[in-house]
């Protein structure tokens, strides 16, 4: 199994690049953002519980996302590997993921960390807010709250995986195809190693 984490601040291109990577490498895409938005769209009790937090740009509680990932791993026993997008977002989530994968006799092969300036992140998210129905992209205050959550709680996830030498930084600004090429280069290097 080849499991990777696509890491980066909100708007760094995780969702965009994930779509291409899963098509090329045949990985199962697990985006906690998508899973949570599906719960909201389906008006499930879980969706109702997280709706306001997400709209305010705050992270949802660790127990909720860890449980969602646990179920998703159980439901996909025969895949080539997983691409985790937007998860883990806290050190507690990273430790839980490592444990769940170890129970299945596998681990994270690489963490690809997209690097994008704050100015560009805000520009991209406001732009998406104009064309999508994502309530967390509509104004600069909510976007700033998401970036603050990232700095306070999520940036530490890279430090967690750095301890195991698993983090590779990739320039996340510029042409989407070019960034995809850089990500593929890192994955291919890991696959032959």
Interaction site with ligand B4P (CB under 6 A): 10-16, 32-33, 36, 53-54, 57-60, 65, 86-87, 89, 93, 124, 128, 136, 146, 176, 179
Distance in angstroms (rounded) separating the CA atoms of residues 129 and 109: 33
Residue 36 CB neighbour total at 10 angstroms: 21
Phi/psi at 167 (5° precision)? -95, 130
Long-range contacts of 126-130 (CB under 8 A, 24+ apart): 128/11
Rg for the chain (alpha carbons), in Å? Answer: 16
Residues forming a β-bridge with 83: 4, 29
Active-site positions?
Answer: 14, 89, 128, 134, 146
Distance in angstroms (rounded) separating the CA atoms of residues 62 and 159: 18
What is the closest distance, in whole angstroms, from the C-beta atom of residue 192 to ligand B4P in the complex? 27
Alpha helices (H) along the chain: 14-25, 32-41, 45-55, 62-75, 91-103, 118-131, 140-149, 155-162, 176-192
What is the closest distance, in whole angstroms, from the C-beta atom of residue 25 to ligand B4P in the complex? 18
Q: Select 176 or 191, whichever has its Cβ closest to ligand B4P.
A: 176
What is the closest distance, in whole angstroms, from the C-beta atom of residue 22 to ligand B4P in the complex? 13
Q: Select 30 or 110, whichever has its Cβ closest to ligand B4P.
A: 30
What is the closest distance, in whole angstroms, from the C-beta atom of residue 15 to ligand B4P in the complex? 3
Tokens at 26, concatenated: 């045949």
Q: Select 28 or 89, whichever has its Cβ closest to ligand B4P.
A: 89
Q: Select 2 or 90, whichever has its Cβ closest to ligand B4P.
A: 90
């Amino acid at each position: 199994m080849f499991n990777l984490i696509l890491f980066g601040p909100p708007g760094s291109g995780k969702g965009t690049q994930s779509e291409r990577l899963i098509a090329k490498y045949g990985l199962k895409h697990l985006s906690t953002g998508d899973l949570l938005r599906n719960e909201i769209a389906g008006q499930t009790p879980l969706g109702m519980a997280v709706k306001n937090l997400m709209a305010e740009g705050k992270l949802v509680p660790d127990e909720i996302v860890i449980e969602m990932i646990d179920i998703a791993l159980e439901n996909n026993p025969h895949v080539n590997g997983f691409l985790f997008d937007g998860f883990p977002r806290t050190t507690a989530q990273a430790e839980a993921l490592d444990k769940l994968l170890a129970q299945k006799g596998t681990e994270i092969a690489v963490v690809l960390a997209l690097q994008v300036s704050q100015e560009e992140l805000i520009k991209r998210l406001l732009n998406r807010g104009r064309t999508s129905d994502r309530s967390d992209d509509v104004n600069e205050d909510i976007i700033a709250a998401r970036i603050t959550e990232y700095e306070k709680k999520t940036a530490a996830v890279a430090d967690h995986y750095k301890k195991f030498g698993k983090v590779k930084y990739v320039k996340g600004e510029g042409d989407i195809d070019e960034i995809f090429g850089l990500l593929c280069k890192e994955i291919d290097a890991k696959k032959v190693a």
